[in-house]
Amino acid sequence: MDLFSHVLWTRVFTRNKLWDDEALVFAMLPDLGFLFVMMYVLLGKPMHLDFQDAMATMPPFILVVYYSLHSFVTLGIVAIIVWKLKPKLLPALSAWALHICMDIPFHSDVFGTRFLYPLLPDFYFSGLSWGDYRVLAASYFMLLVVWYYLEMRELSRHRSIVRRTDWLDRIESFAGGLINPKPISVGHGAERDNQGASGQVSGENLCGPEESQNCGTGTLAPPKAG
């Protein structure tokens, strides 16, 4: 998909999260590989070659970078490293996963999304091109629908006195539990002072007054990266 779509869809799914800025970086990161491709096409290829012929003369490492950044294998390795070094950044990696998922059906041929690269270096699905106006129209229409739904959801919550959990809360809670089954014990002194020993972030409590007794501290998004 185009970079703008990646950014907007990520914004939809990470709205109101403390790690939304980091998520935006991860949403754009995979297309850093495409930036290298464009730099070669614009600056590095012989003048007489068109775009298609330039692909054949392009240094192989550029496509290796492109494929690697669109691979769940790379994402998995990075996720393990992040989990060990900075677990509170882990939810932001979901934006990277979303980017790959969005690209799988809408890229083909040399830019086909090798989502299992390098384990299966030539495995990809050939779908519609993201440049097809029907794909772009459907994507932006869906974007508007989802955005509108979330806005209305938020508005109704502001208006209601008792906040009830809905299906989105349950998904978030489930995902949070997978990532962080136990409360993060924040090891950094300053953060502990600010947030308490549970690692829970103020302002991100998904439970209303009626659920507060059952609200596990380990099912919430980790604190914002410093």
Residues that bind Zn ion (CB under 5 A): 30-31, 103
Task: Return the number of the residue (54 or 65) whose C-beta is nearest Zn ion.
Answer: 65
User: Do residues 68 and 33 make contact, with C-beta atoms less than 8 angstroms apart?
Assistant: yes
State the nearest-atom distance from the C-beta of 38 to Zn ion, in Å: 13
User: Do residues 176 and 204 make contact, with C-beta atoms less than 8 angstroms apart?
Assistant: no
User: Do residues 62 and 48 make contact, with C-beta atoms less than 8 angstroms apart?
Assistant: no
Tokens in use for 56? 């054949």
8-state DSSP, 40: I
Task: Return the number of the residue (101 or 119) whose C-beta is nearest Zn ion.
Answer: 101
User: Do residues 113 and 128 make contact, with C-beta atoms less than 8 angstroms apart?
Assistant: no
Task: Return the number of the residue (30 or 222) whose C-beta is nearest Zn ion.
Answer: 30
Which residues lie below 8 Å from residue 109, measured CB to CB, with a gap of 6+? 126
Task: Return the number of the residue (88 or 114) whose C-beta is nearest Zn ion.
Answer: 114
8-state DSSP, 43: I
